[in-house]
Amino acid sequence: MQGKREEFDRLGFSIERGLLTSAECRAVLAHEKNESGVAPEPWAKARAAIDPFYHRLGADERFLALLRPLLGEDIVLWGADLLLRAPGVVHPWHCDIESCGEDGGFVSIWIGLSHTNRKSALNLVASSHKFGTTIQEQAHIHGLRRGEGTDADVVAWARSLDPATTLVAPKVGNGDAILFDGRLWHGSRNTRRYFSRTAILLQYARADRAVRMFDPAHLEWPLRTRQDVLPPVVVVSGRAPEGLNAIVEAPLAS
Ligand SMILES: O=C(O)CCC(=O)C(=O)O
């Protein structure tokens, strides 16, 4: 565990093989398929705060055992999202706006559920959590907008900040997890010829971090979060201070 922790601190991510079984991957997909289709309020990532299925998954002790060495005892779950990427679809290089504040204290768990391989999984820039700048800021500095930076641009920006860094396309499959620091530069491109890739993203923070939603009107630098409404968050380990986040009770199965 100490080795994993050091690797995570150094690279900003680590890989956990087989965190979910094949049956568990199928269960998530089946659950999502049977959902009413009504979007969770006030944003899509609220699933874990309102849906007992996602809450149970996000609060699973296997996940918390990986998170406690990184975040401490007091942890909130603030996001759960299903990510479907058809062949050819690109999710541009970015830093997650909610979690890229320079003080850190945020960790996300990305788990491939179907048709996951090196060609369809998340790509990461090693050690970018330590750069002290977001990819959105770098794009702005170089006169580009979201999605316009090529892999070569991203590598060049990253190497100007840390000559030893690399762009990593992890060899992961269904059920494998990528844990990553909330500041890490990442993106995806499903380069498979056939089959949509699905993944689940579970997002956590130290309970003393303010969790705010991204503002869809401000995805470019300078980034902004919404101040008018707070996202619901659930305490999944320890306790949380009052008055910082919109803490809600864990949703219960009826
Ligand atoms: O799974 C993907 O395609 C990328 C997801 C991602 O980077 C995000 O939702 O922030």
pLDDT tens, position by position, 198-246: 999 999 999 999 999 999 999 999 999 999 999 999 999 999 999 999 9
- Name the token pair of 105: 């204290």
Q: What is the pLDDT of residue 192?
A: 96
Is 253 inside a domain boundary?
A: no
Residue 46 lies in a domain: yes
Provide the residue range defining the domain that includes 60: 2-247
Share of the chain above pLDDT 70, in %: 99
Mean pLDDT computed over every residue of the chain = 96
Of 173, 146, 63, the closest CA to residue 109 belongs to 63
pLDDT digits (tens, 9 = 90+) for 23-38: 999 999 999 888 767 7
| pLDDT at residue number 49 | 94
Q: Is 199 in the pocket of ligand 1 (CB under 6 A)?
A: yes
pLDDT tens digits for range 37-74: 778 899 999 999 999 999 999 999 999 999 999 999 99
Is residue 174 within 6 Å of ligand 1 at its C-beta? Answer: no
CATH number at residue 44: 2.60.120.620
Is 122 close to ligand 1, i.e. is its CB under 6 Å away? yes
Residues 221-241, buried b or exposed e (16+ Cβ, 10 A)? Answer: bebebbeeebbbbbbbbeebe
Mean pLDDT of 3-21: 96
Q: Tokens 């093989």 sit at which residue?
A: 17
The tally of domains found in the chain comes to: 1
Whether residue 252 is contained in a domain is answered as no
Domain membership flag for residue 254: no
Average pLDDT over residues 190-194: 96
Which atom number of ligand 1 is nearest to the Cα of residue 81? 9
Residue 94's contacts (CB-CB under 8 Å, 6 or more residues apart) are 134, 135, 136, 146, 185, 186, 187
